[in-house]
Chains A and B, each alone.
Chain A
Amino acid sequence: MEVRERARRAYERAQIRIGIETAAPLIVLVPLAMVLHQGGMPSSVAPIAFALAAILFASGWRGDGWRRAAPIGLLAGLPGLVIPRLVLAPLGHCPACDPMMIDAATCFLVCGGAGMVAGITIGVLAARDASPVRFAIGAAAIACLTAALTCVVAGMAGIAGVAAGVAVSTAPAVMLGARARASL
């Protein structure tokens, strides 16, 4: 085999390894989500965990802004992962894990608020990155899915809250950042 081809294969194997390493934090996050669900594992958490694993792997493997976005997205999604549980647990629905008992408005506000925090963080960092759009899209998607690991208990309202919070706060920051870069 030609040396260039061997080197290219070695390079691609290294990128795959980086992809796996990028998805590794799920080893901690999924059990954490289970603990936040008080030991229960709602059926909707598994598909989200798989989707998050896939997107983290793809981000790490693809590189560039996508790769840089992965750890930021995970960190930005952590408030969304933890806060709903802390805020809504006193209301009593988390232990029961019964969507019929959820106050959707409260859930939307709490998850939306956590999403806003995540979105602002991502927006500020994306504006400084060499690939702001890739960074923002990747980090926002990862933050949404990370937060959804617990918020999904509340149904689509929770996910929509996280997504809306990230999107609304990320877009202006990215646009401002891009405009600032263009004016330089």
Chain B
Amino acid sequence: MRPGRAEIHALLVRAADGDRGAFDPLFDAVWPAVQHLCARMAPAGEGDDAAQEAMVRVFTRIAEFDRERDAMTWILAIAAWQCRTVRRTRTRRREDHAAVETEGAERPDDLAERRELIAAATETLGSLSDDDVATITAALTGDPTARAGIAPATFRKRLERAIAKLRAAWRSRYGSP
């Protein structure tokens, strides 16, 4: 039979007073409840670790126990705090990982490659006529003044032709895009 709250309180008071004989009964009484709480509160796969750490913290802080408080509430509050700590740590770890990945795209190698690509695209674009370049630039920037006086259907046809020429120029320089 599981001990009740009053018995757990008495055991915790005895253990806090230095009675080593109260350690094992207290541990056996509260361990299932701490495990159960951490299994629900901690992130998946980390419930057992959180429960173990919570038990260590309970016995580390046993001298701080206020006898006016309910022992089980005090123990479960420590366990809940431990679960929150584990969750926060995991979230922070995930954020740090994401930040490293973002920074990774900006590494010098990647940056140089991107610059080379832009230079190649600019050079290919430079091989087209001024009208074709103006059409592609107007489409990319969405600048309405560049399309002034041109019917939308006409602009669309010009853009298709300019892109086809750009593809052909790229292919002739660098192979298949």
Chain A residues close to B by CB (< 8 Å): 3-4, 6-8, 10-11, 13-15, 17-18, 61-64, 66-67
Contacts and interface: CB of A to CB of B under 8 A. Distances in A.
Contact of B18 (A3, A4, A10, A62): A62
Contacts of B52: 3, 6
Contacts of B155: none
Question: Which of A4, A11, A17 is most buried by chain B, counting CB atoms within 10 A of its CB?
Answer: A11
A62 B17 CA distance: 9
A177 B126 CA distance: 107
Contacts of A15: 18
Interface in B16-62: 17-19, 23-24, 27, 31, 51-52, 55-62
9 contacts: A3-B55, A6-B55, A7-B56, A10-B56, A13-B60, A14-B61, A14-B62, A63-B17, A64-B18
A11 B17 contact: no
Given A17-B63, A18-B63, A7 B17 contact: no
Contacts of A67: 17-18
Contact of A4 (B19, B27, B51, B58): B27
A63 B56 contact: no
A8 B23 CA distance: 8
Interface of B: 15, 17-19, 23-24, 27, 31, 51-52, 55-63
Given A15-B18, A64-B19, A10 B59 contact: yes
Contacts of A63: 17-19
A15 B17 CA distance: 9
Nearest to B24: A4
B55 A11 contact: no
Nearest to A61: B18
Contact of A7 (B18, B19, B58, B63): B58
A3 B18 CA distance: 20
Contacts of B63: 14, 17-18
B144 to A, nearest CB: 70
B166 to A, nearest CB: 67
Question: Which of A4, A7, A66 is most buried by chain B, counting CB atoms within 10 A of its CB?
Answer: A7
What 7 pairs across the A-B complex have the smallest Cβ distances? Answer: A63-B18, A11-B59, A10-B59, A10-B60, A3-B52, A7-B59, A10-B56
B76 to A, nearest CB: 16
A6 B56 contact: yes
Nearest to A130: B17
Question: Which of B27, B51, B61 is most buried by chain A, counting CB atoms within 10 A of its CB?
Answer: B27
A68 to B, nearest CB: 8
A7 B60 CA distance: 8
A15 B62 CA distance: 9
A62 B21 CA distance: 12
B17 A64 contact: yes
Nearest to B61: A14
Given A7-B27, A14-B61, A14-B63, 15 more contacts: A3-B51, A3-B52, A3-B55, A6-B56, A7-B55, A7-B58, A7-B59, A8-B23, A10-B56, A10-B57, A10-B60, A14-B62, A63-B17, A63-B18, A66-B18
